[in-house]
Chain A
Amino acid sequence: MRLATVWLDGLWDRNPGLIQLLGLCPLLAVSNTVDNAIGLGFATLFVLVISNASISLIRHLVDEAIRLPAFVLVIATLTTSAELLIQAFDYPLYQSLGIFLPLIVTNCLILGRAEALARREPLLVSTMDGLAQGLGFFLVLVSLGAIREWASDTIILAALPPGAFIALGMLIALHQAIQKILKRFRSKPQPNTQYRRVRTTGDIP
C-alpha cells in the first residue's frame, strides 16, 4: 500500500515536474531536444535512486547538525561519478549536456527527496520513491523535449527559452485538467500529513 502511494505520487499526484515544480532549471534548459532530455533524465534518475538509497542507509548515523552536509556530500559524490561514467561511455552526450550534468548536484528534487522522505524511510520505500520521482521527472523532461523538438520545425519560439516556459505551462494545465476529471471518479486521497512542503500549484491542503 505504501509503495503504491509512492509510485502514484512520483508519477502523477506529486509529479516533481508538474506539481512540486522541482528541478525547473534543467527541465527548462535541457528540454530542447529529445536526445538531451533522455540523457539528462537518466543521469538524474541514476543519482536520485542511489542517493535516496544511500541516505536511507545512513539515516540512523546522522543527526541534525551534520544532516545537510552529509546529504550534499552523498549527492555530490554520486553526481561526480555519473559525470565521469557518462564521459567514459557516451562522450557526445557528455558534450551536449554541458554544464547541466555537474549541476545535477543543485537539482532541488534530489535534496528534496532526501529531506522529505529518504531520511526517515527504510531502504525499499526510499529506493522506490527515488525510482518513481526520477521516472516522473524523466517523463516530463522527455515529453517537453518531444513537444519542443516537434514544434520548433514550424514555430522557432518553441526551441528558445520562452518556448520552454510556455510548453511547460501547457503541460501543467493539461495535468490539472485531467486531475480535475479524475477527482470526480475517485475519492479525494487523504492529504499526507507526515511531511509538509510549500506547494506552488495544485490544491492547498
Chain B
Amino acid sequence: MTLRLALFGLIAGVFVSVIYVITEPMIIESKEEARTKRLYSLAEPLLNDGRIGNPVNEVLTSNAPVSLINPLPVTPINDGELQIGAVIPFRALDGYSGTIKLLLALDRERRIVGVRAIDHKETPGLGDKIDTRKTDWILQFNGLRYVDLSPTEWAVAKDGGQFDSFTGATITPRAVVNALAKTLAYVETHPEIVGGEK
C-alpha cells in the first residue's frame, strides 16, 4: 500500500509537471503583459514619443526616504537616446492595514505624470478609494511638481495641506500623500533618476 501511495505521488508529480511546463511560458507572458499594461496606463502622456526601457537598479544615497527601496528599480521612458521620464515604485509603510505599494511616473522636469496604488490591503469602502478602480482621488496629483507647493502644503487637508482625505478615512490618504511628498523631495535632489539635470 505504501508503494501504491508512492506511485500515486509520482503520477501526481508528473501531472503537475506537465501542466507547469505547458503554462510556464504563458504565465511569464501574462505577467509581462500585466506589467506593461500598468506602465502604459500610468505613463500614457509620455508614450506618444517615448518607449518603455528596461528597468535599471539605481543605488540611492543614504539620505533616501523609507518610501523608496534601495536599490531602486527604475523603468526609464526613452525617446531615442534621450530619457524623457521614468516610472519608479514607492511605498507608504504607514497605511491603515500595512504597506501600500505605489507607482509614480515623472517626466524629466520632475512633473507628476501619474500615480497609482498597485498593491494594498486598505479597508474596502473606506481607504481603498486611493485605488483608481474605486475613485479618481489619486489622479489629482497629475501635472504637479514638488516645487509647485510648499512642503507644508504637501499634506492632507486635515494636516493643513492641499489634498482632500475621504470621509471616515484619513490614515490612508495621509500615508499616500506623505510618502509621495518624501519621494518627490528626494527625486528633486537626484533628478538624474528621471533623466533630468541638476
User: Which A residues are closer than 8 A to B by beta carbons?
Assistant: 32, 58, 61-63, 65-66, 69-70, 73-74, 76-77, 80-81, 84-85, 87-89, 91-92, 95, 152, 156, 159-160
Contact = CB atoms under 8 A, between A and B. Distances in A.
B19 A85 contact: yes
B31 interface: yes
B121 to A, nearest CB: 10
A70 B5 contact: yes
Contact of A160 (B16, B23, B124): B124
Nearest to B12: A77
Contacts of A61: 4
A70 B5 CA distance: 6
Interface of B: 1-2, 4-5, 8-9, 12, 15-16, 19-20, 23, 26-27, 30-31, 33-34, 123-126, 168
A81 B2 contact: no
A61 B168 CA distance: 59
A87 B20 contact: no
Contact of B4 (A66, A76, A84, A159): A66
Nearest to A64: B1
A80 to B, nearest CB: 5
Contacts of A89: 26, 30
24 contacts: A58-B8, A65-B1, A66-B1, A66-B4, A66-B5, A73-B8, A74-B12, A76-B12, A77-B12, A77-B16, A80-B19, A81-B15, A81-B16, A81-B19, A84-B20, A85-B19, A87-B27, A88-B26, A88-B30, A91-B33, A92-B34, A152-B125, A156-B168, A159-B124
A32 B133 CA distance: 14
Contacts, number: 61
Contact of A87 (B8, B9, B23, B124): B23
Nearest to A69: B5
A70 B124 contact: no
A81 B22 CA distance: 11
A95 B15 CA distance: 24
Nearest to B2: A66
Contacts of B33: 91
Nearest to B26: A88
B96 to A, nearest CB: 13
A91 B1 contact: no
A66 B1 CA distance: 7
A18 B80 CA distance: 61
A156 B126 contact: yes
Given A61-B4, A91-B30, A91-B34, A77 B15 contact: yes
Contact of B23 (A58, A70, A76, A85): A85
